[in-house]
Structure 1
Amino acid sequence: MNESNLISLIRQMTLDEKISQLMQLSTPFYEGAESEGQITGPMEAMGITDDMIHNSGSVLGLSGAKEVIQVQEAHLKKNRLGIPLLVMADIIHGYRTIFPITLGLSCSWDMELAEKSAEIAAAEASAAGVHVTYAPMVDLVRDPRWGRVMESTGEDPYLNSQYARAFVRGFQGKDLTNDHSRVAACVKHFAAYGAAEGGRDYNTVDMSAWQLREMYLPAYKAALDEGCQMVMAAFNTVDGIPATGNKRLLKGLLREEWGFDGVLISDWGAVKELIPHGVAADLKEAAYKAMQAGIDIEMMTSAYVHHLKQLIEEEHIHEAQIDEAVLRILKLKQTLGLFDNPTRGASVEQEQLIIMSDLHRAAVRDAAAKSCVLLKNDSVLPLKAEQKIALIGPFAQNGDILGPWSWQGSKEEAVQLFDGMITVSDPENIRISQGCGIETGTEAELEAAVAAAKNADVIVLALGEDSLMSGEAGCRADIQLPRIQLELIAKLKPLGKPMVAVLFNGRPLDLHGVYDQVDAVLEAWYPGTEGGIAIAELLYGKRNPSAKLTMSFPYVTGQIPVYYNHYRTGRPQGAPDAQVRYVSQYLDIPNEPLFPFGYGLSYTTFDYSEARISSGTMSVNKPLTIQVRVTNTGSMAGEEIVQLYVRDLVGDVVRPVKELKDFRKITLAPGESQEITFELTEKQLRYHHHDLQYTSDPGDFIAYVGTSSIEVQELKFTLTKESE
């Protein structure tokens, strides 16, 4: 069915049928769903009729091949023109076989791994009947109090953009129409959702158009350039207007400037939320503003179905606007091949074959090992298989290691830390004591932990956050570990035993009371289905940690936001002529984070020989090459992430102290060296000026190459006007 056929189909539709295509409802509304009929309370108040359901365009939260087939077949019998439903769901970092949370996965700095994770998630979801995933989330984040940092890829626009492309490739593949193992991607949340004030979900975002374009928009644009099929509007305000009703943002920037002609969907309930935002007096005005802004699909509120027809009759909007939205939705259905195969991908047999398969579990295990960041190691790791270990803490035997967005994941199927450790060491060598719960505990539990640890060679502390302490609406003002867990560490410290902390959490934490008390810290995030085995292999040296942070860990909560690519001030700390007091600083803590962007340790060591630059000058037609030799000077093979940063010394507007421009991930055997070459072009030096023009300026720059954003070598060069 080509576009002219779709237009012909639209002409056959009544206005009510067209408007219903713009409505997305959850599973219980639909005949054939196992939860059918569970529509009570507030959902009944939506005033949804059978005709609206029969003509609706999409459903969210439906999955499982059998149920999807039942719902789709029942729907097609009731839909006059036989238009199939789009099935959408939150498949964020795995469908049933769960990968590490996205923030953890991003610490691998591995685009092939990210793409593979999305490909596997898509294959499982598609077999279960899902057509569209609400992913990737590419919101740039600088505030770890915000619970949804776990779903992001960190604080850097370049790295976020690379991941945005990788996830879209993995979810969608190259041919959505014929490759039924893939799903359409929906990039979110447009725009700047990660900048919510106070790190509080759904809260106000207020920033300049310059900052928005310079830091927050690049990753969304990268996802669209990769062919992402859908965009989800954010809950937050942009320039004082909620994104869902923001005509300048959605129609002006997204549609007209960027040329996006795919489907634009609201977030859950966001059209109706224009009322409490205070920009719409009622549902009718909310419908008007959302439609004028370009929202095609209204998720889980009923402003469109109840008010668009009246708005057309009153000539506030035109039916042609409805037709355009319907056409975009039908095009997506056509792209997915749903008109020819309405139950596309859904297969009970394929579900049984691939979901939680050995192949997928192996991929998840590899991803988990590559996502854990070694933050501290005072010669206690790796453990030896013969050592007596006291495994203590609320995550010693806990399946809550999947994270809050593991919709179909099973905590019961997750490999717990103890179960992973006994695959490497004799169970007789490991003594377990919970010590405390995640947020509560008793003196008797603490004393039992001390007793368990007295004869141990090493104490391994399994600590962290309950999964509901992060994710959507999982915001925390105090991001230290819960007090009882800090008390557990303090209780064990006097034993004088080496202590290793393994952290299970969804955000960078304030680690006071942890990193200063223990000998080693392994940040495991929520590592996914195979987490226990992956962590055990790292603890015992079967694998070498290689991940590096993509979001800074604050020194304390009060330092937030803290990020590596911050701007210079007129009174920078440490300037040669600065007075001791009157500079931009805290009196009681350092300016720097506890652990910076790009940081992560290994069991081996890497030496960076003197970096070299091909020339002291660059022009539009004369890029530079930057070289450095990296040598594995330790006794264990390891992966290293070599990072290239640039600083623009004088700009039209203030420039960051460093900006990531490129990186290489290499593997070196003991004693092996590799020459790393980066090419740096004029295009990579462009930025948004005060008038929002995107260009570069001639002048002086510093290139930095090294193992993190702070451990670098400097190379100076000048960008000239000449096109040599």
Structure 2
Amino acid sequence: MKAWRAGRVLFGLVLLLPALALGQAAASDPASGDEGAVVESLLARMTLEEKLGQLTQSRGRGSDTGPRVPEGGEAQIRAGQIGSFLGVYGADYSRQMQQVAVEESRLGIPLLFAHDVIHGFRTTFPVPLAEAASFDLEAVENAARIAAVEATAHGLHWTFAPMVDIARDPRWGRIVEGAGEDPYLGSRMAEARVRGFQGTDLTAPDTLLATAKHFVAYGGAEGGRDYNTVDVSERTLHEVYLPPFKAAVAAGVQSIMPAFNEVAGVPMHAHRPLIETLLREQWGFDGVLVSDYNAVQELMQHGVAATRTDAAILGLEAGVDIDMVSGIYLEDVAEAVRDGRLDEALVDASVRRVLRAKYRLGLFDDPYRYSDPAREAAMTLTPAHREAARELARKSFVLLKNDGDTLPLSKRLRTVAVIGPLADDRRQMLGNWAAAGRPEDAVTPLDGIRAALGPDVRVLHAQGAEIDGDDVSGLDEAVRIARQADAVILMLGEDQEMSAEANNRTTLDLPDVQEELAQAVQATGKPVVAVLFGGRPLSVNWLHDNVPSILMAWFPGVEAGNALADVLFGDHAPSGKLPVTFPRNVGQVPIHYNHKNTGRPPDAEDKYTSKYLDVHWTPLYPFGHGLTYTRFRYDDLRVKTPRIGRGEAVDVEVTVTNAGGRAGDEVVQLYLRDDVASFTRPVKELRGFQRVTLQPGESRTLRFRLEPEAMALLDADLRPVVEPGTFTVFAGGSSAETSETTFEVVAD
């Protein structure tokens, strides 16, 4: 602490000298003032170049000793030309760079260190789409909290998460980073992750600035092709894509990232109406807008800017505060300000927001609070963190099919064969965007199964095939060991590089070589369980028709193998539900449960209705689907007040019974439909969910409250209104299997 106090004295003097030179009376210590006073005092002393430095984010570089600032980075810090770094962390190193900023630059403004902490830092949790399958807001918030604790211990202040894009096209690789297809679930997950990252007090040393991304409609890319054009109606924009962002803002998110795409012909990094008018003026967001990677400069490729300077002007006029990595603000804006093409007040507005973020994190009070080597060592990959990752992985697994109660498998089997390209691959278990996660930390399925079964059960293993390609040389070995086993567990699915940014697919099928492997193993006649890994819905029709039990495991994270063994052998029952529809084939895309009815809803007896010639119109597995090792029965769905006024809430109750022989968790889902409205409404919309644990034979009555906002639609001016009429309420274990009742909203 003595060293910090000495540094703080110098820090104060560095700020005081320019103030004295300017004849200003501001306090020498920025921590002594309130937010506005500190920000305005600094802003008044800054040169234009120093202001643009605060709006510039540079990317780190890899080295043998960890992520470091780029060559020449320290000189830029001293010159006040950098406000933040992407991908630079480490408690000792971040302290060193912060010291350069605070003690060796003219104004001593602390740096921000940012990184893509998406689903854990060193302790890797299931990928976000898998976390959403848990329908467990508390567990998801805790995962983000643990990620924040670990990341901040390594010197980070800021994460570019959560991704809150709604995705209805599983060809899009980034579907893995979000919460799936539903705006309600997406909104609740956005709130949970923001709370987890940012905590309850941003000045605490273990809180990260969260970033809701990508604003907006990025998940609507044409053809499911990343970065592609988005063309949606204004109504769909407001009903489907904007709600999770509004929820994140209401939860206090401090940073938002615009999307690469355009909306209505305007690239989002130049979209002043959506950023300044909607986001800031109407929603009251007062945090930082940070560009996506190089995206301000890419306004030139969009065709709305002829030069880098034009692109930078458009970005700042739209309200994009920080340029990520291109250097376009630092290098191309000063001349535009001086020759009158850009009002310096717009630069000042962005600088204020950046300085406010640093103030809110407490960096002006103690710039080194995030750079503590002792905390770094103590709070990384702890047993408690690993246990939380294991628990969330178990909750994320979705049992798609379980004919004949094939699962759980008995631990008394004599021989088990574990076959497939994902059975013993540590890197695949982490998924994409694994931050500081290390493959050597991961428990593979093979390791987890061997540990769970112990030395008395013979566990055989064969890779059988690569994840992709045409090499079938391993099939014979796979068949040979399958024939020796009492049961076979097939580990199939995607490579982690088949999902995430720029990893888009035109097929949702398993690679051919894996389907050949599955067919060869199934032909042995042995009991087979298929475990699927991936970051998107998969069209696994052959498995569905031929394999009795299928478990969707996604990319489960660092505790993958242990969590899988827990579920496969019955120590825990699966309880995940699909946050996104699984189509029968890619030709059904886009397919989602909350579709419109149309004037000609599908009817098998009527040719001239909305359906296909070659495949049923229904999905392979619907939104909300997920089995477990017991059965649940839904009874007595009722509305306590069948007639209400337009401003009143309605209470709904349903009784759920565990009608099977094992304890289990159920995610009880509540859906709503406005039966007749002035604008067409979806056939049903998720409006609530609760996880409940029930013992065999146990019943519980669950209560949901539907507030007026849950019944509202957007009128012609896109304002929420509740219209008189009947509403249908649905409750059940998936979007496709529900009980229903009605209530009526009466005119005032």
Pick the TM interval, shorter chain: over 0.9
2:636 to 610, 627, 631: 610
Partner of 2:745: 719
Question: 1:474 is aligned with what amino acid?
Answer: N
1:405 to 433, 437, 440: 433
Question: 1:99 is aligned with what amino acid?
Answer: F
Question: How far apart, in 1, do the equivalents of 2:332 and 2:715 lie?
Answer: 43
Q: Does the C-alpha gap of structure 1 residues 605 and 144 become closer, same or farther in structure 2, counting only changes over 3 Å?
A: same
1:68 to 74, 86, 94: 94
Question: 2:182 is aligned with what amino acid?
Answer: D
Partner of 2:239: 214
Partner of 2:146: 120
Seq. identity, %: 45
Partner of 2:659: 633
Corresponding residue SS for 1:625: strand
- Offset of 1:397 from its aligned partner? 0.8
2:121 to 73, 95, 113: 95
Question: How far apart, in 2, do the equivalents of 1:113 and 1:668 lie?
Answer: 19
- Offset of 1:29 from its aligned partner? 11
Question: 2:543 is aligned with what amino acid?
Answer: V
Partner of 1:395: 422
1:281-305 per-residue CA deviation (whole Å, 9 max, x = no partner) reads 1101101100110011000112211
Question: 2:291 is aligned with what amino acid?
Answer: S
Partner of 2:345: 320
Q: Does the C-alpha gap of structure 1 residues 52 and 143 become closer, same or farther in structure 2, counting only changes over 3 Å?
A: farther
Q: Does the C-alpha gap of structure 1 residues 333 and 50 become closer, same or farther in structure 2, counting only changes over 3 Å?
A: closer
Question: How far apart, in 2, do the equivalents of 1:506 and 1:121 lie?
Answer: 20
Corresponding residue SS for 2:484: coil
1:255-294 correspondence runs (5 A): 255-294=280-319
Question: How far apart, in 2, do the equivalents of 1:542 and 1:441 lie?
Answer: 37
Q: Does 1:146 align with 2:146?
A: no
Corresponding residue SS for 1:401: helix
Question: 2:463 is aligned with what amino acid?
Answer: Q
- Offset of 1:34 from its aligned partner? 5.5
1:571-618 per-residue CA deviation (whole Å, 9 max, x = no partner) reads 1113xxx96211111111111111111110000111112322224322
Question: How far apart, in 1, do the equivalents of 2:654 and 2:39 lie?
Answer: 56
Partner of 1:162: 188
2:45 to 12, 16, 23: 12
Corresponding residue SS for 2:673: strand
Partner of 2:82: 56
- Offset of 1:35 from its aligned partner? 4.0
- 8 Å CA contact 2:465–2:473 kept in 1: the answer is no
Question: 2:52 is aligned with what amino acid?
Answer: I
Partner of 1:663: 689
1:663-702 correspondence runs (5 A): 663-702=689-728
- Offset of 1:662 from its aligned partner? 1.0
Question: How far apart, in 1, do the equivalents of 2:207 and 2:737 lie?
Answer: 41
For structure 1, list consecutive stretches of 5 or more residues without a partner in the other structure.
Answer: none
Partner of 1:540: 569
Question: How far apart, in 1, do the equivalents of 2:77 and 2:356 lie?
Answer: 23
1:132 to 148, 158, 169: 158
Q: Does the C-alpha gap of structure 1 residues 538 and 29 become closer, same or farther in structure 2, counting only changes over 3 Å?
A: closer
- Offset of 1:51 from its aligned partner? 7.0
1:478 to 507, 511, 515: 507
Partner of 2:451: 423
Partner of 1:369: 394
Partner of 1:304: 329
Question: 2:444 is aligned with what amino acid?
Answer: Q
Question: 1:62 is aligned with what amino acid?
Answer: V
1:358 to 383, 406, 412: 383
- 8 Å CA contact 1:552–1:593 kept in 2: the answer is yes
- 8 Å CA contact 1:274–1:286 kept in 2: the answer is yes
1:590 to 606, 612, 616: 616
Question: How far apart, in 2, do the equivalents of 1:152 and 1:36 lie?
Answer: 30
Q: Does 1:493 align with 2:519?
A: no
Partner of 1:231: 256
Q: Does the C-alpha gap of structure 1 residues 33 and 554 become closer, same or farther in structure 2, counting only changes over 3 Å?
A: closer
Q: Does the C-alpha gap of structure 1 residues 569 and 5 become closer, same or farther in structure 2, counting only changes over 3 Å?
A: same
Q: Which moved more, 1:302-311 or 1:214-223?
A: 302-311
Question: How far apart, in 2, do the equivalents of 1:75 and 1:458 lie?
Answer: 61
1:20-59 correspondence runs (5 A): 20-28=53-61, 35-36=68-69, 50=76, 54-59=80-85
- Offset of 1:59 from its aligned partner? 0.6
TM-score, length-normalised on structure 1?
A: 0.95
Question: How far apart, in 2, do the equivalents of 1:23 and 1:289 lie?
Answer: 16
Question: How far apart, in 2, do the equivalents of 1:357 and 1:413 lie?
Answer: 11
Question: How far apart, in 1, do the equivalents of 2:624 and 2:473 lie?
Answer: 41
Partner of 2:471: 442
Partner of 2:541: 512
Corresponding residue SS for 1:66: helix
- Offset of 1:479 from its aligned partner? 1.4
1:402-431 per-residue CA deviation (whole Å, 9 max, x = no partner) reads 111102111121000011112221354211
- 8 Å CA contact 2:164–2:214 kept in 1: the answer is yes
Question: 1:395 is aligned with what amino acid?
Answer: L
Q: Does 1:173 align with 2:199?
A: yes
- Offset of 1:138 from its aligned partner? 0.5
Question: How far apart, in 2, do the equivalents of 1:331 and 1:36 lie?
Answer: 24
What's the C-alpha RMSD, in Å, of the aligned pairs? 1.8
1:257-310 per-residue CA deviation (whole Å, 9 max, x = no partner) reads 212121111000000100111111110110110011001100011221122112
Question: 1:267 is aligned with what amino acid?
Answer: D
Partner of 1:464: 493
Corresponding residue SS for 1:73: helix
Partner of 1:454: 483
Question: 2:41 is aligned with what amino acid?
Answer: S
- 8 Å CA contact 1:619–1:682 kept in 2: the answer is no
- Offset of 1:345 from its aligned partner? 2.0
Question: How far apart, in 2, do the equivalents of 1:434 and 1:38 lie?
Answer: 43
Question: 2:496 is aligned with what amino acid?
Answer: S
TM-score, length-normalised on structure 2?
A: 0.92
Partner of 2:14: none
- 8 Å CA contact 2:54–2:80 kept in 1: the answer is no
Corresponding residue SS for 1:221: helix
- Offset of 1:143 from its aligned partner? 0.7
Corresponding residue SS for 1:256: helix
2:532 to 503, 514, 528: 503
- Offset of 1:68 from its aligned partner? 1.1
1:185-212 per-residue CA deviation (whole Å, 9 max, x = no partner) reads 1111101111111111111111111110
Partner of 1:338: 363
Question: How far apart, in 1, do the equivalents of 2:530 and 2:256 lie?
Answer: 39
- Offset of 1:239 from its aligned partner? 1.1
| Matched positions, count | 710
Q: Does 1:329 align with 2:354?
A: yes
Corresponding residue SS for 2:41: helix
- Offset of 1:443 from its aligned partner? 3.6
Q: Does the C-alpha gap of structure 1 residues 504 and 593 become closer, same or farther in structure 2, counting only changes over 3 Å?
A: same
Q: Does the C-alpha gap of structure 1 residues 650 and 411 become closer, same or farther in structure 2, counting only changes over 3 Å?
A: same
1:241 to 254, 262, 266: 266
- Offset of 1:94 from its aligned partner? 0.2
Question: How far apart, in 1, do the equivalents of 2:649 and 2:274 lie?
Answer: 35
